Structure 1
Amino acid sequence: MEEKMLQEIMAAPYEIQFKEIPIPKVEPGQVLVRIKRIGVCGSDIHVYHGKHPYVTYPLTQGHEVSGEVVSLSEEVTGLVIGQKVTIEPQVYCNHCYPCTHGKYNLCENLQVMGFQTVGASSEYFAVDASKVTPLPDSMTYDEGAMIEPLAVAVHACKRYGDVRGKKVAVLGAGPIGILLCQALKAFGAAQVMMTDVSDYRLELAKSCGADYVYNTKKVDFANVVVECFGEDKADVIYDCAGNDITMGQAISNARKGSVIVLVAVFADLAKVDLAKLNDSELDLYTSMMYRHEDYLDAIRFVEEGKIQLKPLMSKHFPFKDYKEAYKYIEDHHETTMKVLIDV
């Protein structure tokens, strides 16, 4: 008789079900992971609200996860049963131009587990060994589930280049913004200023290493960027909020000839001053997900104590309370950073 497991199914917006299905058997080159933690991110919330443009229902979510290897096919090397792991959720073709030039995060046919392909929101998950990254024994499953969003921040740092000794402004003190602040400091940034419209989030950012924090509902960004960094302003500005206001602040107040990095996803078409962008000869970079080396740097920074993840962990919910987790996030939006599902 086949052993069964529970799998989360989002049948439609706001409708979460659980289905009992057989525990998958590993195919050649695969690993079976007993899922321990699942992180909920903003993109998951968009799916829950029916506002994600690139998903169809029903689907199984789960792309920020950690777990334990419980089985592997005989071809797999470098992993052992009982090992703590996380999963890299990108599914790419290996044939298009970006893939063949080392930029598989930009694959022309990119799919992401939990969005365009089956995610890991289940008690067990069979996945190609190439997507599995070992975690140190010292790392908790909670921390392991946050390596994926941390890798987003690490990759964003690298999009600028060498941040050592640089003065940086980060607009938006959500989970990615605060992780980015810590990653910038881990890479050697001299000073990081963060802005938001929530005092709660800014206090948390300060406790996680931000040198300066400002609520731009109360102060003018144009004034505080000079107050922090002098007339030369910031060397680079990161937009982790993704709206016309923050991008407008960045373009209007960036030092001429400097760099803006867009990390956040714009929910709507942007209306920003491209004439000013051009007149100031600003470089506008963007950042898309991560690659394997970003996972390795993220794990190393946590292991070395350079990045603290625990302050961003807001609340845990049992696996069967998936919908309650979404409701909690909706009801406590300003004060919620990372909600974790215990499987």
Structure 2
Amino acid sequence: MKEMMIQQVMTAPHKIEFNEVPVPEVKPGQVLVQIKRIGVCGSDIHVFHGQHPYTSYPVTQGHEVSGKVAALGENVTGVEVGQKVTIEPQVYCGECYPCTHGKYNLCENLKVMGFQTTGTASEYVAVDASKVTPLPDNMTYDEGAMIEPLAVAVHACRRPGDVKGMKVAVLGAGPIGILIAQTLKAFGAAEVMVTDVSDYRLELAKECGADYIYNTKNVDFGKAVVECFGADKADIIYDCAGNDITMNQAIQNARKGSVIILVAVYAGMANVDLAKLNDSELDLNTSMMYRHEDYVDAIRFVGEGKIQLKPLMSKHFAFKDYLAAYDYIENNRETTMKVLVDVDPSND
């Protein structure tokens, strides 16, 4: 085992350094993970631009991650050295009302690795064993790094209850929108429509199993809903874009008494038609991160072939090219879905 390792640090917006630091000590109840892959998500990009309201600098990033168990602390069971794993990045207090009622994803003191506390962008990370979830041997490290965003989708698809047989519209064909569309089908939804303003992303959604795709630059959303689902419209509408345009599309065109679920992080204060929301007695719901059972189902769905992850993998970058990864995303916004950073490019 090496004594020193390389760690990424974002010192300020648009600035990344790599420091040599000691490999962390593995305390009792902890697991030392050799990091293999890290995914870059929209929240990371907000940090890169200095626009994340709950992140200060310096910060070591990385919360979408896969790796291999390198060492075990005392009293750790359930994982073995050499096993593939992912890490659940929530750090919660375990004492507040949400935590003591099974909703630790809503912890009053929640911190997330890579934002309010140290992330996984290091060659090795020591974490509590409770945050380590084993991956199947036949799952790739690339897929393992995408279990976290897939768990976001799984949790969102649980929010309305049983979706089996339902007709659902998903607004926004980014990575989360496409993962939600696939997860809805995995949970038994009858038909899923996906909308966006990018033909490239819509075609990718179609490739990943969406039943209908519409570019709302060219087609009115309300007409598209009726064309797909008939006069009864959608049972559920997911907003995975998170802006006034998509939320108002949902409110104005939802069937009275139906459900809207906001998944995207809304940028700024909303200016939406709450009078229409009230008049239609719509349930406006939200979804926040995930819990362990969402990781378990995410891994199961990939293993059963119900979720395609590879079409969403856009490009790989070496660990020391972290800054170049952000530049690539910035210059290829429409066609970039998921960029992966290879902390250790090997697959063993």
**TM norm structure 1:** 0.99
Query: What residue number does 1:203 align with?
Result: 203
1:205-260 superposed Cα distances (whole Å, 9 cap, x missing partner): 00000000000000100111000000000000000000000000000000000000
Partner-residue secondary structure (3-state), 1:21: strand
1:88-133 superposed Cα distances (whole Å, 9 cap, x missing partner): 0000000000000000000000000000000000000000000000
Quote how far apart the aligned CAs of 1:28 are.
Answer: 1.1
Unaligned runs of 5+ in 2: 344-348
Q: Distance in 1 between matches of 2:304 and 2:294?
A: 15
Partner-residue secondary structure (3-state), 1:160: coil
- Opposite residue 288 of structure 2, the aligned amino acid is M
- Opposite residue 189 of structure 1, the aligned amino acid is A
Q: CA RMSD in A?
A: 0.8
Is it true that 1:127 corresponds to 2:127 in the alignment?
yes
Q: 1:2 and 1:146, CA in 2 relative to 1: closer, same or farther beyond 3 A?
A: closer
- Opposite residue 320 of structure 1, the aligned amino acid is K
Is it true that 1:160 corresponds to 2:160 in the alignment?
yes
Q: Distance in 2 between matches of 1:2 and 1:173?
A: 42
- Opposite residue 254 of structure 1, the aligned amino acid is A
1:167-195 superposed Cα distances (whole Å, 9 cap, x missing partner): 00000000000000000000000000000
Quote how far apart the aligned CAs of 1:268 are.
Answer: 1.2
Q: Distance in 1 between matches of 2:337 and 2:191?
A: 23
Query: What residue number does 1:257 align with?
Result: 257
Q: Distance in 1 between matches of 2:74 and 2:153?
A: 35
Partner-residue secondary structure (3-state), 2:163: coil
Partner-residue secondary structure (3-state), 2:159: helix
1:22-60 superposed Cα distances (whole Å, 9 cap, x missing partner): 111101110000000000000000000000000110000
Q: Distance in 1 between matches of 2:101 and 2:179?
A: 28
Query: What residue number does 1:274 align with?
Result: 274
On the 8 A contact 2:27/2:74 being kept in 1, the answer is: no
**TM norm structure 2:** 0.98
Q: Distance in 2 between matches of 1:84 and 1:237?
A: 36
Query: What residue number does 1:171 align with?
Result: 171
- Opposite residue 87 of structure 2, the aligned amino acid is I
- Opposite residue 342 of structure 2, the aligned amino acid is D
Is it true that 1:234 corresponds to 2:210 in the alignment?
no
Q: Distance in 1 between matches of 2:277 and 2:74?
A: 55
Q: Distance in 2 between matches of 1:171 and 1:18?
A: 38
Unaligned runs of 5+ in 1: none
Query: What residue number does 2:243 align with?
Result: 243
Q: Distance in 2 between matches of 1:57 and 1:279?
A: 45
Partner-residue secondary structure (3-state), 2:34: strand
Q: Distance in 1 between matches of 2:176 and 2:224?
A: 22
Q: Any residues of structure 2 matched to 1:300-315 within 5 Å, and which? A: 300-315=300-315
| Number of equivalenced pairs | 343
Q: Distance in 1 between matches of 2:184 and 2:224?
A: 20
Partner-residue secondary structure (3-state), 1:284: strand
Query: What residue number does 2:118 align with?
Result: 118
Query: What residue number does 1:69 align with?
Result: 69
Q: Distance in 2 between matches of 1:139 and 1:212?
A: 29
Quote how far apart the aligned CAs of 1:80 are.
Answer: 0.4
Query: What residue number does 1:50 align with?
Result: 50
Q: Any residues of structure 2 matched to 1:24-43 within 5 Å, and which? A: 24-43=24-43
Q: Distance in 1 between matches of 2:288 and 2:282?
A: 20
Is it true that 1:289 corresponds to 2:289 in the alignment?
yes
Quote how far apart the aligned CAs of 1:2 are.
Answer: 7.1
Query: What residue number does 1:320 align with?
Result: 320
